[in-house]
């Protein structure tokens, strides 16, 4: 006889634990199953995001940024320090403490909301049954009226540079280095490559990023991508575009990487290599015999806009389904599915998912880019504000970057906002809210922003859409 639940969630990453907590809050008898254990074999809830993703990477990004500031920027602000040096063990210990405290926090939240948590590997069986095998090999069977699949994603391993966990690592390995590699190769100049490349470059590595595409950050606004490329190169990241890695050979404690670009084949040798070429849904072994769960062309679980899978009463959320692999997107999907189970009708707005690259400055955007809208022949107006003209940016010595508002030329509705700025991840939230409420550039221009703040840059960029910005030279006079 299997234990019966109203809702069973497979995976306690951001998508799964949000679904489970909301379902329990709504009075549904909920179980959440996850297999992740820490180095001591204890449950470590929170998935990729808390254990080896968003949180540990930001702990290292923030710490390494402060290290860089102490080394080279404090002096300019009149702050004298003694000799600044790196204690990598302590930096890693800080990161570990943050991760532990947050994973335990998720366990506490699930418990206090009445979610039954099971540690083990879950498999979806026919007739809404789930088998759970724990770490001792013990198997139990559960049944549930509704099942939410949230198994997340895993890094792509490429044959041209197979990971060995020592010299050639994925993002998880790159968060764990216990010494700063003298030379570091990063395959892929996407989000992970730029964030982790930045961490180790700030701590002293000579970093080379090999990116197969000829264009830098193709999903970002072109002007921002161009400015960001210059800025990152100034920070010591060497970014080789159009460089497709085709082979690698570990050699005497180093790795020789071969890549091909328009000029032919090249070899370059590194102490360590991070492979950061994307992630894929982690669904191996998720379904038992006879479970016909449909996948899409990318190998993700096929779902509709409400995260319904091909199976009745089975839903899927987060990185395992279509859309950007972002924690906040999965969280909102988890909540949407839980609420729809009790008859509410929320809908995730996929048009306002913010993207952030946590470099310095941060690159953030929401909505469509200027180039995409132009290619679609949608008439647009663009307002831009350089942070060099912001009083607050000057006061805090963070003048690199710009804020750009793209609005429809006829309706003035905001279609996209693009930011390159310190704290860009916080600034973009204002744009998301504006777009969620269908704001026009004029609406933002008529809104009062506190002075002096970086947010005023968004206000000015919105005013600039119709040529009314106060702090930049305008040609239009109306």
The residues annotated with a catalytic role in the active site are: 451
Residue with Cβ nearer ligand NAD (193 or 383) = 193
Distance separating alpha carbons of residues 463 and 445, to the nearest angstrom: 5
Give the pair of three-digit tokens for residue 430.
């204002």
Would you count residue 65 as binding ligand FAD (CB under 6 A)? Answer: no
Give the pair of three-digit tokens for residue 107.
């366990």
- Detail the DSSP E strand segments found in 219-261: 237-240, 244-251, 254-261
In 3D space, the residue among 347, 385, 58 whose CA is nearest the CA of residue 196 turns out to be: 58
Distance separating alpha carbons of residues 148 and 26, to the nearest angstrom: 15
The residue with tokens 């080789």 is 240
Residues 344-363 close enough to bind ligand FAD by CB under 6 A: 358
Taking CB under 6 A as the criterion, the residue among 53, 193, 204, 367 binding ligand FAD is 53
For residue 302, the 8-state DSSP code is P
Q: Residue-wise over 431-470: b if at least 16 C-beta within 10 A, else e? A: bbebbeeebbbbebbeeebeeebbbbbbbbbbbbbbebbe
Taking CB under 6 A as the criterion, the residue among 7, 14, 99, 315 binding ligand FAD is 14
Q: How far is the CB of 311 from ligand FAD (least distance, A)?
A: 16
Would you count residue 129 as binding ligand FAD (CB under 6 A)? Answer: no
Residue with Cβ nearer ligand NAD (188 or 401) = 188
Residue with Cβ nearer ligand NAD (114 or 278) = 278
In 3D space, the residue among 277, 293, 27 whose CA is nearest the CA of residue 156 turns out to be: 277
Distance separating alpha carbons of residues 343 and 106, to the nearest angstrom: 26
Would you count residue 33 as binding ligand FAD (CB under 6 A)? Answer: yes
Residue with Cβ nearer ligand NAD (144 or 171) = 171
SS3 call for 123: strand
Would you count residue 468 as binding ligand FAD (CB under 6 A)? Answer: no
Distance separating alpha carbons of residues 301 and 313, to the nearest angstrom: 14
Q: How far is the CB of 126 from ligand NAD (least distance, A)?
A: 32
Residue 16 interacts with, from ligand NAD, ligand FAD, none (CB under 5-8 Å by kind):
ligand FAD
Q: How far is the CB of 189 from ligand FAD (least distance, A)?
A: 15
Q: How far is the CB of 54 from ligand NAD (least distance, A)?
A: 7
Q: Is the peptide bond before 361 cis (omega within 30 degrees of 0)?
A: yes
Taking CB under 6 A as the criterion, the residue among 24, 59, 146, 192 binding ligand FAD is 192
Q: How far is the CB of 161 from ligand NAD (least distance, A)?
A: 7
Residue with Cβ nearer ligand NAD (245 or 444) = 245
Residue with Cβ nearer ligand NAD (279 or 459) = 279
Alpha helix segments (H runs only) across 38-154: 47-52, 54-72, 88-112
Taking CB under 6 A as the criterion, the residue among 125, 211, 319, 362 binding ligand FAD is 319
Residue with Cβ nearer ligand NAD (54 or 227) = 54
Would you count residue 185 as binding ligand FAD (CB under 6 A)? Answer: no
Binding residues for ligand NAD, per CB under 6 A? 158, 160, 187-193, 195, 210-213, 244-245, 276-279, 324-326, 356-358
Cβ atoms of 317 and 16 closer than 8 Å: yes
Distance separating alpha carbons of residues 212 and 242, to the nearest angstrom: 5
**Stretch near ligand FAD under the rule CB under 6 A, chosen from 8-16, 227-235, 400-408, 457-465:** 8-16
Taking CB under 6 A as the criterion, the residue among 34, 211, 398, 430 binding ligand FAD is 34
The residue with tokens 């990116």 is 211
Q: How far is the CB of 182 from ligand FAD (least distance, A)?
A: 22
Would you count residue 117 as binding ligand FAD (CB under 6 A)? Answer: no
Residue with Cβ nearer ligand NAD (128 or 153) = 153
Q: Facing residues of 209 across strands?
A: 186, 239
Would you count residue 153 as binding ligand FAD (CB under 6 A)? Answer: yes
Distance separating alpha carbons of residues 304 and 321, to the nearest angstrom: 10
Distance separating alpha carbons of residues 185 and 163, to the nearest angstrom: 13
Q: How far is the CB of 225 from ligand FAD (least distance, A)?
A: 19
Q: How far is the CB of 48 from ligand FAD (least distance, A)?
A: 3
Report CA-CA distances (Å) from 88 to 85, 165, 359, 421, 431: 9, 20, 20, 27, 37
Side by side, the strands of the sheet bearing 168-169 are 168-169, 272-275, 183-187, 206-210, 237-240
Query: Looking at beta carbons, which residue is closest to ligand NAD?
Result: 190
Contact residues: ligand FAD, CB under 6 A: 10-16, 33-36, 47-49, 53-54, 57, 121-122, 150-153, 171, 192, 282, 286, 318-319, 325-328, 330, 358
């Amino acid at each position: 006889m299997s234990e019966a639940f109203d809702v069973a969630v497979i995976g306690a990453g951001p998508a799964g634990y949000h679904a489970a907590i909301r379902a329990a809050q709504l009075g549904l008898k909920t179980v959440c199953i996850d297999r992740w254990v820490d180095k001591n074999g204890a449950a470590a809830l929170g998935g990729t995001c808390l254990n080896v993703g968003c949180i540990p990477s930001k702990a290292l990004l923030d710490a390494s940024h402060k290290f860089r500031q102490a080394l080279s920027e404090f002096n300019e602000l009149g702050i004298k320090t003694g000799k600044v040096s790196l204690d990598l063990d302590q930096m890693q210990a800080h990161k570990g403490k943050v991760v532990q405290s947050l994973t335990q926090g998720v366990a506490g939240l699930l418990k206090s909301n009445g979610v039954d948590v099971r540690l083990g590997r879950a498999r979806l069986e026919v007739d809404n049954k789930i088998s759970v095998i724990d770490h001792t090999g013990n198997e139990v069977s559960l049944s549930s009226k509704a099942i939410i699949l949230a198994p997340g994603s895993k890094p792509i391993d490429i044959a041209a540079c197979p990971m060995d966990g020592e010299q050639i690592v994925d993002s998880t390995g790159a968060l764990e280095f216990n010494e700063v590699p003298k030379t570091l190769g990063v395959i892929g100049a996407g989000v992970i490559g730029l964030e982790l490349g930045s961490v180790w470059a700030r701590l002293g590595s000579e970093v080379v990023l090999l990116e197969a595409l000829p264009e830098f950050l193709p999903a970002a606004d072109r002007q921002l991508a161009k400015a960001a490329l210059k800025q990152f190169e100034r920070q010591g990241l060497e970014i080789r575009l159009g460089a497709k890695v085709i082979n690698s050979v570990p050699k005497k404690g180093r790795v020789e990487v071969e890549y091909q670009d328009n000029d032919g084949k090249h070899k370059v040798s590194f102490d360590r290599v991070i492979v950061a070429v994307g992630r894929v849904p982690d669904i191996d072994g998720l379904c038992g015999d006879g479970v016909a769960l449909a996948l899409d062309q990318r190998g993700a679980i096929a779902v509709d806009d409400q995260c319904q899978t091909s199976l009745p009463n089975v839903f899927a959320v987060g990185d395992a389904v279509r859309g950007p692999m972002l924690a906040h997107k999965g969280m909102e999907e988890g909540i949407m599915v839980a609420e729809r189970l009790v008859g509410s009708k929320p809908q995730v707005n996929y048009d306002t998912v913010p993207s952030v690259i946590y470099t310095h400055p941060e690159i953030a955007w929401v909505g469509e880019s200027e180039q995409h809208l132009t290619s679609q022949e949608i008439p647009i107006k663009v307002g831009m504000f350089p942070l060099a003209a912001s009083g607050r940016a000057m006061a805090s010595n963070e003048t690199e970057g710009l804020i750009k508002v793209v609005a429809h030329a006829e309706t003035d509705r905001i279609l996209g906002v693009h930011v390159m700025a310190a704290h860009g991840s916080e600034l973009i939230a204002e744009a998301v809210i504006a777009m969620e409420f269908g704001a026009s550039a004029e609406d933002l221009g008529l809104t009062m922003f506190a002075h002096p703040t970086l947010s005023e840059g968004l206000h000015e960029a919105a005013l600039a859409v119709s040529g009314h910005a106060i702090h930049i030279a305008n040609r239009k006079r109306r």
